[in-house]
Amino acid sequence: MLVSLIVPNKNNAPVLGRFLDTLRRNTTYRDVELIVVDDGSTDRSVDVLRRRRGTFERFELVETRGGGIVNALNLAAERARGEVIVRLDGDATIETRGWLERMLAFRALSAKVGVVAAGVVFDSGRVHSYGVNVVSEAGVHSRGTVLLERPGARTLDIAVDYPPAADADGRDAPAEVDGAIGCCMLFERELWERVGGFDSRYNPAGFEDFDFTLMARREGRKVFVLPEVEVVHRISRRNPREDVARRVMLLYALRRKLGWIVPERARAALAARARLGDSDPARIALLQRHYAYWREKWGFDPLNPDMREVLARWGGTEVCWAYDEEMRRDGEAIVNAFRRSPSSS
């Protein structure tokens, strides 16, 4: 069975070589194609990708002028020939050898499996996501993180603490989850077609990944995280994805060169002072736009949901699986079947 690995790329030149080398080394499943859509990178990404076309026997590079990561994802999926698609990110390296066989084995356990995602940690060693909690009083946040704002009074989904991965909840076992981030998620092409692809209203990026998983649940499918497949999100190695001043590009280059010797709290303080990353006003404005669209689409606030409204609209569906005993048992049975299978060893 052909599996299509799709990658949207924007300004990942400093890490692309490592991404491709690691992907080739740890992908032992041979019937794959790699489709990379470059979203109008302004760094040397396209040069790197052109040189590395030989990394996989079937490697297609699509160069665009830039229309947003979500559009790049959908373009890659349209060109995919595989029955199964895996979405990857060009700045996130897969560190588990034989990862694809494990994810395919999990998918094969039940027709109810819609999405299988990997566990993701930052290159700082801190947790990024062991799945995403969406349908709860605490609102959207990555599983394994710790809220910095009180449930019911949250203002930003990124207002969380990222503990060391070794201390994070969810790292030890596969589990059913509300959703997942897009660094490594496996799903069927037919499911992508049925939900209408990744929602382009989230362009240029953000929320489209766990929105996709919730759309899978709306179709009656389940979502799981498989932490034994480890992905390292190397955000300290990439370039900014938006047009920035030369001063900012120099700061990113300095972070790649010296970041490892600067304490993490000091790096965060410097980023806040420079209004970069999570402190960038443009990013916060984009998040607020995503929150508004989410409320329009799903009928509840992603940060401070009224669970009575959520259950009134989505109760009895897989969207609210965690509130339905039979649906929870079905998910637990799938997880237990995987634990008993040779693929989990």
Per-residue pLDDT of the chain (345 residues; tens, 9 = 90+): 999 999 999 999 999 999 999 999 999 999 999 999 999 999 999 999 999 999 999 999 999 998 999 999 999 999 999 999 999 999 999 999 999 999 999 999 999 999 999 999 999 999 999 999 999 999 999 999 999 999 999 999 999 999 999 999 999 999 999 999 999 999 999 999 999 999 999 999 889 999 999 999 999 999 999 999 999 999 888 766 655 444 444 454 445 454 444 445 544 544 444 444 556 788 899 999 999 999 999 999 999 999 999 999 999 999 999 999 999 999 999 999 999 988 665
What residues pair up with 145 in beta bridges, in sequence order?
143
Pairing of strands 113-122, 222-233: parallel
Which pLDDT value is given to residue 333?
Answer: 98
Specify if 231 maps to a domain.
yes
Specify if 276 maps to a domain.
no
Our CA angle for 111, 114, 120, nearest 5°, is: 135
93 contacts 206 by C-beta, under 8 angstroms: no
331 contacts 234 by C-beta, under 8 angstroms: no
Cα dist. 232→89, 116, 123, 323 in Å? 10, 17, 6, 32
Specify if 247 maps to a domain.
no
Specify if 47 maps to a domain.
yes
Structure tokens at 164: 């060391």
What residues pair up with 120 in beta bridges, in sequence order?
129, 231
Specify if 274 maps to a domain.
no
H, E, C per residue of 172-193 = CCCEECCECCCCEEEEEHHHHH
Specify if 259 maps to a domain.
no
Among residues 117, 77, 296, which one has the least CA distance to residue 222? 117
Global confidence as pTM:
0.89
Pairing of strands 127-129, 113-122: antiparallel
189 contacts 245 by C-beta, under 8 angstroms: no
Which pLDDT value is given to residue 309?
Answer: 95
| 289 φ/ψ angles, rounded to the nearest 5 degrees | -65, -40
By residue range, what is the domain housing residue 337? 3-236+283-344
CATH number reported for the structural domain that contains residue 101 in this entry: 3.90.550.10
Q: Structural domain tally of the chain?
A: 1
| 294 φ/ψ angles, rounded to the nearest 5 degrees | -60, -45
62 contacts 76 by C-beta, under 8 angstroms: yes
Specify if 66 maps to a domain.
yes
Which pLDDT value is given to residue 236?
Answer: 85
Specify if 251 maps to a domain.
no
Which pLDDT value is given to residue 344?
Answer: 66
